[in-house]
Chain A
């Protein structure tokens, strides 16, 4: 009991404890905000980090400390009204902020002109999407998917992905029953016409990467043949032939010299350890363009005056004894872009993240890379449909932000980009404003109205929650625009839970501070004067005004 009392006295009822808590909160915030590497190491974005249990614990400690100290140590007298207001305001602010973050959803919706949007893309959460022909499968939310670091078998950390939300995923799909012609929910493999259930496992994650095409290059010489899987920028050596080779470029549908017939082409930079005698002289380095399915080997010698960037085209191969054969697009590889080379805006939007997915159906299994697709429901999916053995229909897959339904519908009637005077409404001009003229409609009641969402002037929608006085408020704000013709708009969509309570808390704090700093000294002064006057009236010559300090 004594220990509990000691604890109570030195924690909940202690001002130094409160100060220590505030300092810890400041340090926590400074680390979470100023040292993004710490958050990234923990695989947390700002929201996750600031809703993590240590922060919640600090907040609980602060609220309890404030509550106990206020009630037990600060008398509710006129000079102390300000402190009470401040402390109540802080408690209310912490609690309402907690409620806010537990219910907050926000994201973006893309609305083409004259079209209506009923969903938006969650800002934080991501999901896996399936489609069979035109039927959308159940969206699989990928909770716990990392954000900042690479995870795959090569990195030796794939076990991080061993979570229920990322492994053994098996969606259902709404399909037409062939016998009853009714819409029924069936497992994905039934809709595909496959025998075995299909399961998806996320086996790799790349936060900022590019998918590179892999080609097969066969090198042949007398008594020598070797095949390499190569990609752009790759270097390799063939000591037997005395070559160091770099894959300089790969071009789709390169127009062949003379005929202009399109053909895939690879350009190799070949460096010889020993020079080759060529008609132009000894050559140590040359470039060779190899065309898929063509025996032609065109060589270029760089560094010749007047030649183009490829070098001087040779009429005869520099080394006719070495022949290359190209087979393009035999696979893909992930190229993780180094952190210093990443575009900041793309990284923040998560545009370049890729997941590696393993698809299993019975004994069959395949891995594929799924790049992130912005506005996934409204965009073309980048990966070609997959043929699953035994299935009668191909399966389409995509990876994007989680889609959420909006409580209202928004139709874009028109969009105005308003430049500053002196320039047209083009991407190169400075814009004064962006205005989406919208129609907001309520599905339940059929009520609809015209509104505008413009910079700093959003549109609002609120609906009753069925309890008198309680309404759910949504905001629609101007977020992005189409610089090429203003054919669409992107609105930010967010709910606003507990915002009014937070506002009340802020008013309490602001008022309390003014009161404590500027009204309290006047009140104390008057109280002292009054006490003096009363004492003088009672005939007492000395008073001992035991009032608090001027703070």
Chain B
């Protein structure tokens, strides 16, 4: 029979004291087992849809857990368990995780430094090199700290890497407390309308006056939370499940008017579990691409319709991905306009591909030759696969998780400038594919004057003309934004200059077509490919290889 504590009628301070006493009692019976006894035995789905304010953004517990675990361990699940399970297990059984190597060191030279630490067991040094993880106890060890100070003093460029690991360690410390505890997350909306800061359960029970929560509602939540902790430590799966279910029902009722709508929370969890709709969209686009290419080659209308159907399916999923994200971001910005999801690399690539798909769809309906369909579905597939894969492959955070943007980005100019820029990138991507296709067609011995080659060239021309104009206007609007934001319309920043180089590349194509009568299609195809790589360097490469003001772009 689980412990029962009726807290309905207790005053807040009594609630807090009860909480402390219970936690102390729990501590006495601390276990030391590293295995998670409840793994696979409880379903935390009801908790996933609860809301939290984290890093000044309202999100579900599911999103919070994924982001937090990612900050600590560089991954969004551990031991095959959902992130939320892992974080709760860390909070409730800290002793099992204190010495467990969880904190990720992405920076290889820093790993090498740590592996070379005097006195470190060679097997552990090898493990650190291979797995790139250290435990909190290791990281907080005075010997490690002293050694890292030396590393930082010797090579200042490792300070950033050390600070990143330290960020992970601090995040872990917020979860992994000295004693078993509830995660200190801002899980309760404030009572006062004027207050925008959500409260932790600990804060909530101590608030008085106008900010005081309704004890009749808060009491059961505290009761469920405490007993969830107790049951978790007892590995009582049935009791844990019961408390999870009750907590999930009770928490949104405390300040119901300010709690995000259930449908929004459920949509966020579904969005997370469907890989933010990147993979499903990419799959549909890929098959559409295959069908369109086959349709163009064999001239089959049936294949084209199949491709079109898959393309529309991919576009619908893609649109849903953007729409859901927009809807979810609005929760934190309180403004539909400022919630438009185009503020980081993940969102801009997603939006770029969407514009490409939209234009490609319209052109495909107009021309009905499968070329635009193939080009835009290729762009859609490539983009969605890229944003899904990049964080896993190269470990770079491109903004997959919903968070607040830097203040400088909260401008209508962002939507005008960036929207146009990414739209032009999609068109450049389409032009690239059509250029490659034309070259392959030529290399395989087919004539440049065949109707197929002519059509490919004309489609390429349509794409690159649009890309050229849209990119030019994007550059102009970027200059206007730079003028009001940085005091100069043009500062020879690498992002600006390589956008201009890309534009010049297309300017050259247009003029080369004028003078190179016999080989205009060839040069158009070649320069489309060169232009694509210049654009790609501008979009992605500049951020990582050059120093400039567009670090978020």
Check if B238 is an interface residue, CB within 8 A of chain A: no
Contact A420 B492 (CB under 8 A): no
- Asked if B139 is at the interface (CB within 8 A of a chain A CB), the reply is no
In the complex, the answer to whether B156 meets A477 with C-beta atoms within 8 Å is no
Contact between chains at A431 and B469 (CB < 8 Å):
no
CB distance from A92 to the nearest CB of B (A): 13
Closest partner residue, chain A, to B512 (CB atom):
A19
B4 within 8 A of A: no
A30 in the interface, Cβ–Cβ < 8 Å?
A: yes
- Chain B neighbourhood of A97, CB < 8 A: 490
Binary A-proximity of B193-229 (CB < 8 A = 1, otherwise 0): 0001110000000000000000000000000000000
Within 8 A of A (CB), among B413-469: 413, 465-466, 468-469
Task: Give the residues in chain B near A503, CB-CB below 8 Å.
Answer: 480
Q: Once bound together, how far apart are the Cα atoms of A492 and B485, in whole Å?
A: 9
Given contacts A29-B497, A341-B157, A422-B198, contact A432 B469 (CB under 8 A): no
Selected contact of A475 from candidates B186, B472, B483, CB within 8 Å? B483
| Interface mask (B487-517 → A, CB under 8 Å = 1, otherwise 0) | 1111111100110110011011011111100
Residues of A within 8 A of B511 (CB): 15, 18-19, 22
B53 interface contact, C-beta 8 A: yes
Known contacts A22-B507, A423-B56, A517-B465: does B483 contact A496 (CB below 8 Å)? yes
Contact indicator B156/A30 (Cβ below 8 Å): no
Q: Quick check: B492 and A47 within 8 Å, CB to CB?
A: yes
Complex contact B56–A494 (CB within 8 A):
no
Contact between chains at B484 and A551 (CB < 8 Å): no
Set of chain A residues within 8 Å of B486, measured between Cβ atoms: 477, 492
Give the Cβ gap from A316 to chain B, nearest Cβ, in Å: 26
Given the complex of chains A and B, what is the CA–CA distance between A82 and B344 in angstroms? 36
Instruction: Report whether A499 and B489 are in contact in the complex, using a CB–CB cutoff of 8 Å.
Output: yes
Out of B406, B515, B546, which one reaches A430, CB within 8 Å? B406
CB contact list, A396-431 vs B, under 8 A:
418-423, 429-431
Do B547 and A456 have beta carbons less than 8 Å apart?
no
Pick from A30, A506, A517: contact of B501, CB below 8 A. Answer: A30
Are B498 and A34 touching (Cβ within 8 A)?
A: yes
User: In the complex, how many angstroms separate the beta carbon of B501 from the nearest chain A beta carbon?
Assistant: 5
Contact residues in B for A344 (Cβ distance below 8 Å): 547
Q: How far is the CB of A250 from chain B (nearest CB, A)?
A: 13
B514 contacts A15, C-beta separation under 8 Å: yes
Contact of A502 among B466, B489, B546 (CB under 8 A): B489
Q: How far is the CB of A136 from chain B (nearest CB, A)?
A: 27
Which candidate, A4-12, A196-204, A461-469, A508-516, is the interface stretch facing chain B?
A: A508-516
Nearest-CB distance from A524 to chain B (Å)?
A: 15
Would you call A184 an interface residue if the criterion is a C-beta within 8 Å of the partner chain's C-beta atoms? no
A455 in contact with B508 (CB, 8 Å): no
- Of the four ranges (under 10, 10 to 19, 20 to 34, 35 or more), the interface on chain A belongs to 35 or more
Given contacts A422-B186, A477-B484, contact A348 B547 (CB under 8 A): yes
B553 CB, min distance to chain A CBs, angstroms: 15
Please, which residues of chain A bring their CB within 8 A of the CB of B2? Answer: none
Asked whether A506 lies within 8 Å of B479 as measured between CB atoms, the reply is yes
Asked whether A420 lies within 8 Å of B404 as measured between CB atoms, the reply is yes
At the interface, yes or no: A239 with Cβ under 8 Å from chain B?
A: no
Q: Mark A334-362, 1 if CB is under 8 A from B, else 0.
A: 00010011111000100000000000000
Q: Indicate whether A22 sits within 8 Å of B498 (C-beta atoms), given known contacts A16-B515, A420-B404, A492-B487.
A: no
Closest to A47 in B: B492
- In angstroms, how far is the closest chain A Cβ from the Cβ of B510? 6
Which A residues are in CB contact (< 8 Å) with B491? 46
Q: Give chain B residues whose Cβ lies under 8 Å from the Cβ of A419.
A: 56
Question: Is A25 among interface residues, defined by CB-CB distance under 8 A?
Answer: yes
Q: Are B492 and A23 in contact (CB under 8 A)?
A: no
* Additional A-B contact list (18), CB under 8 Å, known A23-B504, A106-B488: A19-B515, A22-B507, A26-B501, A33-B493, A33-B494, A33-B498, A422-B57, A422-B197, A422-B198, A430-B55, A430-B404, A455-B411, A457-B484, A477-B487, A494-B488, A496-B483, A510-B473, A551-B514
Sample (28) of A-B pairs whose CB atoms are under 8 Å apart:
A15-B514, A33-B493, A33-B494, A34-B497, A50-B492, A337-B156, A340-B155, A342-B156, A418-B407, A420-B56, A421-B334, A422-B57, A429-B56, A430-B55, A430-B406, A432-B410, A455-B408, A455-B410, A455-B485, A456-B410, A456-B411, A456-B484, A477-B484, A494-B488, A499-B489, A509-B476, A517-B465, A551-B513
Residues of B at the A interface (CB closer than 8 Å) are 53, 55-57, 142, 146, 155-157, 186, 196-198, 332, 334, 404, 406-408, 410-411, 413, 465-466, 468-469, 472-473, 476, 479-481, 483-494, 497-498, 500-501, 504-505, 507-508, 510-515, 545-547
Q: CB within 8 Å of B: which residues of A? A: 15-16, 18-19, 22-23, 25-26, 29-30, 32-34, 36, 46-47, 49-50, 97, 104, 106, 309, 337, 340-344, 348, 418-423, 429-434, 455-458, 475, 477, 492-494, 496, 499, 502-503, 506, 509-510, 513-514, 517, 549, 551
